[in-house]
């Protein structure tokens, strides 16, 4: 199983190390000690990332960042879901407060080892129109 140190989990979620420690202490995310270090499992981290994105808990904090995001970004995140058939795979990720969905071949998803809890980078380069709703 994939595990992450608390600092790595904080980086993936775009929060501070202290925030992740508080979430561990309060039981919001399960942890375990491995070789003297506190870690969280990849699938548990993916579930928390998905919850944070759905609840918009981090979105308000990052609302001012949204206008600075270009359509040519590399965003570090965590895979939350992979749906495969014989030909294609739909890969969902949480990258900070953003949910990113990618369609790729099932072979590519397999070669990359994509599954919930895996850390990945979403590279976004759009040849289409980016639509935003002002708030």
Taking only the tens place, the pLDDT of each residue in 26-47 is 999 999 998 899 999 999 999 9
CATH architecture under which domain 3-55 falls:
Orthogonal Bundle (1.10)
Where are the chain's structural domains?
3-55, 64-125
pLDDT digits (tens, 9 = 90+) for 55-72: 866 655 554 444 455 545
If you search the block for the tokens 């491995």, which residue do you land on? 34
pLDDT digits (tens, 9 = 90+) for 69-120: 554 577 889 999 999 999 999 999 998 888 989 999 999 999 999 999 999 9
How far, rounded to the nearest angstrom, does the alpha carbon of residue 53 sit from its chain's CA centroid? 9
CATH architecture under which domain 64-125 falls:
Beta Barrel (2.40)
Coil, helix or strand for 17? helix
Coil, helix or strand for 120? strand
Label residues 85-107 b or e (16+ Cβ within 10 Å = b).
eeeebebbbbbbbbebebeeebe
- pTM (2 decimals)? 0.65
Tokens standing for 64? 């001012």
């Amino acid at each position: 199983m994939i595990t992450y140190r608390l600092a790595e989990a904080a980086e993936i979620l775009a929060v501070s190390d202290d925030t992740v420690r508080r979430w561990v202490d309060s039981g919001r995310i399960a942890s375990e000690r491995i070789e003297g270090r506190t870690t969280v499992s990849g699938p548990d981290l993916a579930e928390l990332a998905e919850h944070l994105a759905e609840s918009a808990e981090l979105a308000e904090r990052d609302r001012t960042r949204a206008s600075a995001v270009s359509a040519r970004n590399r965003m570090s995140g965590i895979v939350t879901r992979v749906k495969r058939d014989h030909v294609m795979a739909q890969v969902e990720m949480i990258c900070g407060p953003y949910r990113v969905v990618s369609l790729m071949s099932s072979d590519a998803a397999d070669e990359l080892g994509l599954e919930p809890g895996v850390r990945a980078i979403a590279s976004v380069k759009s040849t289409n129109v980016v639509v935003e709703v002002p708030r």
